[in-house]
């Protein structure tokens, strides 16, 4: 099995850190290889079954969280705020969109970032780019930017702590449907989206009271299934956390329920695609505007040769100005080929621009327009718009412009806290959920 799982080592692997000491890396990898799994293979299979329902048009994916998690951000408040945002969005989609929602966090492992440039220049000083807390430090000093393999271990432990909190919140009463009001009790409650949410929560209360009176109180009302995911970028880490499932004898990357391949590492003959072809998790591939239908079909052949529903999700990230032009041919040809795919829309990564202040940002209107384009294309082709993949935080940050509070480019510096790309804040995320629910109902 170890040769089978190591075939990727012969192939070009983009975006890997230049570890200064290979011996140190080997020591850390050996340690990671014997640590307990973060998730169980059976849970990965459950997610695969839920994603199979998405490919059949019976459910909708909400996948989201930080662009780049940080070790410092793995606190009870930080995790609870993200979870709260996702639960609020999911309830809006379920209630207003009338669709079961598969909830997947970009959480408990999203610690590595692919970068457009290998270095960063500030005031004439050039240093290696920050590649996520799993690799090097965010501080702009030569020491902090040196890749340090000890960080792989910290990423594992930070993921474990986060997942522990997520499991406690989602199964220990916090995600109970009777808590719909509690998720809305802070700064977001005063926003227009927060007020709209409160009205919806009151309707849910009434529906619950009615069902209770009828004697119905299913377990699904008292907790939610919640899954973890990240971009499996640093192959030494994800390989070290791959274990053979004792039930089936099949290998799973047990660092997360779902892992995805990024737009920058999805080449057919790349180490990433090879590694992913060997694991049995549900997997995603990001597809940008230059993807051809032939590229997508070749990925289907390599990554899902048995055409297993729920195994492969395509996460398209075209940009608002390109999606209506580029997505139709992809979806049409892949569908004509009979491939079982869950199609989901990442409306963030194709819509980033630099504000005059130098902050990377995104306009909420562009984000919503890409989602609208995604629904239009699928409606036109008679295929299923299967979900959204977004970057958000539970905090009141000012990183994306627009929304009901009209965050302007001049406001970005007020609370710009992301370690990499700009995220939607709580009320922008809720705004988005209402919009997506409307689009879903009318599609
Ligand atoms: O999150 C995605 C990428 O890591 C990010 O967009 C890269 O940003 P960069 O273009 O600043 O390197
Ligand atoms: C890097 C990312 O996206 P993409 O690969 O689509 O650029 C990401 O989602 O963090």
For 333-391, write each residue's pLDDT tens digit: 999 999 999 999 999 999 999 999 999 999 999 999 999 999 999 999 999 999 999 99
Question: Both tokens of residue 331?
Answer: 């979806």
Q: State pLDDT tens for residues 199-248.
A: 988 998 899 889 989 999 888 888 899 999 999 999 999 999 999 999 99
Residues 6+ apart with CB under 8 A from 144: 136, 137, 138
Q: State pLDDT tens for residues 118-143.
A: 999 999 999 999 999 999 999 999 99
CA distances from residue 272 to 2, 149, 350, 438 in whole angstroms, order as listed? 16, 19, 22, 37
Predicted local confidence at residue 217, as pLDDT: 87
For the Cβ of 135 lying below 6 angstroms from any atom of ligand 1, the answer is no
Mean pLDDT along residues 247-256: 97
Residue 354, classified by CB atoms within 10 Å of its CB into exposed (0-12), middle (13-18) or buried (19+), is: exposed
Cα distance between residue 374 and residue 371, in whole Å:
5
* Cα-to-centroid distance, 349 and ligand 1 (Å): 8
Q: State pLDDT tens for residues 280-338.
A: 999 999 999 999 999 999 999 999 999 999 999 999 999 999 999 999 999 999 999 99
Within its chain, how far is the Cα of 266 from the centroid?
16
**Residue 180 pLDDT class (50, 70, 90 cuts):** confident
Cα distance between residue 8 and residue 269, in whole Å:
9
Mean pLDDT along residues 168-177: 87
* Cα-to-centroid distance, 178 and ligand 1 (Å): 39
**Residue 171 pLDDT class (50, 70, 90 cuts):** confident
**Residue 162 pLDDT class (50, 70, 90 cuts):** very high
Can you give the three-state secondary structure of the chain, one letter per residue? Answer: CHHHHCHHHHCCCCCCCCCCCHHHHHHHHHHHHCCCCCCCHHHHHHHHHHHHHHHCCCCEEEEEECCCCCCCCCCHHHHHHHHHHHHHHHHHHHHHHCCCEEEEEEECCCCCCCCCCCEEEECCEEEECCCCCCCCCCCCCCCCCCCCCHHHHHHHHHHHHHHHHHHHHHHCCCCCHHHCCHHHCCHHHHCHHHHHHHHHHHHHHHHHHHHHHCCCCCHHHHCCCEEEEEECCCHHHHHHCEEECCCCCCEEECCCCEEEECHHHCCCCCHHHHHHHHCCCCEEEEECCCCCHHHHHHHHHHHCCCCCCCCEEEEECCCCCCHHHHHHHHHHHHHHCCCCCEEEECCCCCCEEECCCCCEEEEHHHHHHHHHHHHHHHHHHCCCCCEEEEEECCCCCCCCEECCCCECHHHCCCCCCCCCCCCECHHHHHHHHHHHHHHHHHC
Whole-structure pTM over 0.90, yes or no?
yes
Bigger pLDDT: 188 or 205? 205
Residue minimizing CA distance to atom 5 of ligand 2? 262
Query: Which of 117-121, 274-278, 404-408 bottoms out in mean pLDDT, i.e. has the lowest?
Result: 404-408
Predicted local confidence at residue 173, as pLDDT: 83
For the Cβ of 67 lying below 6 angstroms from any atom of ligand 1, the answer is yes
ipTM value for the complex: 0.97
Q: Which ligand is nearest to the CA of 419?
A: 1
Judge whether residue 1 has pLDDT over 80: no
Cα distance between residue 282 and residue 227, in whole Å:
11
Q: State pLDDT tens for residues 81-123.
A: 999 999 999 999 998 888 999 999 999 999 999 999 999 999 9
Predicted local confidence at residue 215, as pLDDT: 92
**Residue 443 pLDDT class (50, 70, 90 cuts):** confident
Which of 229, 317, 419, 421 is the pocket-test mutation for ligand 1 (most atoms within 8 Å of CB)?
421
Neighbours of 25 (CB within 10 A): 18
Predicted local confidence at residue 305, as pLDDT: 98
Cα distance between residue 114 and residue 116, in whole Å:
7
Question: Both tokens of residue 150?
Answer: 């000890």
Neighbours of 38 (CB within 10 A): 20
Whether 259 and 281 have beta carbons less than 8 Å apart is answered as yes
Helix axes 426-442, 364-381, angle to 10 degrees: 20
Nearest partner of 44 among 279, 385, 376, 322, judged by Cα = 279
**Residue 182 pLDDT class (50, 70, 90 cuts):** confident
Q: 264 a known binding residue?
A: yes
Superfamily the domain 2-442 falls into: Aldolase class I (3.20.20.70)
Residue minimizing CA distance to atom 8 of ligand 1? 115
For the Cβ of 274 lying below 6 angstroms from any atom of ligand 2, the answer is no
Chain mean pLDDT for the chain:
95
Domain segments of the chain: what residues? 2-442
């Amino acid at each position: 099995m170890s040769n089978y799982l190591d075939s990727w080592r012969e192939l070009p692997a983009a975006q890997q850190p230049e570890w200064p000491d290979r011996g140190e890396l080997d020591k850390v990898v050996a340690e990671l290889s014997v640590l307990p799994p973060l998730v169980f293979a059976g849970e990965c299979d459950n997610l695969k079954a839920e994603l199979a329902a998405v490919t059949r048009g019976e459910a909708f994916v909400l996948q989201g969280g930080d662009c780049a998690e940080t070790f410092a951000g793995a606190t009870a408040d930080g995790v609870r705020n993200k979870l709260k945002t996702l639960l609020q969005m999911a309830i809006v989609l379920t209630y207003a969109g009338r669709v079961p929602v598969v909830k997947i966090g970009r959480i408990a492992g999203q610690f590595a970032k692919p970068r457009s440039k290998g270095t960063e220049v500030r005031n004439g000083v050039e240093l290696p780019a920050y590649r996520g807390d799993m690799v090097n430090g965010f501080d702009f000093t030569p020491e902090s930017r040196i890749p340090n393999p000890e960080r792989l271990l910290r990423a594992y432990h930070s993921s474990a702590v986060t997942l522990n909190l997520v499991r406690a919140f989602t199964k220990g009463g916090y995600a109970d449907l009777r808590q719909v009001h509690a998720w809305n009790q802070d700064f977001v409650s005063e926003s227009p989206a927060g007020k709209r949410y409160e009205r919806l929560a009151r309707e849910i209360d009434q529906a619950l009271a009615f069902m209770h009176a009828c004697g119905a109180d299913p377990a699904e009302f008292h907790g939610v299934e919640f899954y973890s995911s990240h971009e499996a970028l640093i192959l030494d880490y994800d390989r070290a956390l791959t274990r053979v499932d004792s039930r089936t004898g099949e290998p799973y990357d047990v660092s997360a329920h779902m892992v995805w391949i990024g737009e920058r590492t999805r080449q057919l003959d790349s180490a990433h695609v090879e590694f992913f072809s060997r694991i049995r998790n549900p997997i995603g591939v990001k597809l940008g505007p230059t993807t051809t239908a032939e590229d997508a079909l070749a990925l289907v052949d390599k990554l899902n040769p048995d055409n297993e529903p729920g195994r492969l999700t395509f996460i398209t990230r075209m940009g608002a100005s390109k999606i209506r032009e580029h997505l139709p041919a992809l979806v049409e040809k892949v569908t004509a080929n009979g491939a079982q795919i869950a199609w989901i829309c990442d409306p963030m990564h194709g819509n980033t621009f630099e504000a005059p202040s130098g902050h990377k940002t995104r306009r909420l209107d562009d984000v919503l327009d890409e989602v609208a384009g995604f629904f239009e294309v699928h409606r036109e082709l008679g295929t299923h718009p299967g979900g959204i993949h977004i970057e958000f935080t539970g905090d009141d940050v000012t990183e994306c412009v627009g929304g009901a509070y009209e965050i302007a480019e001049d406001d970005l510096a007020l609370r710009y806290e992301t370690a990499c790309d700009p995220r939607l804040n709580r009320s922008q995320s809720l705004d988005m959920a209402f919009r997506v629910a409307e689009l879903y109902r009318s599609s």
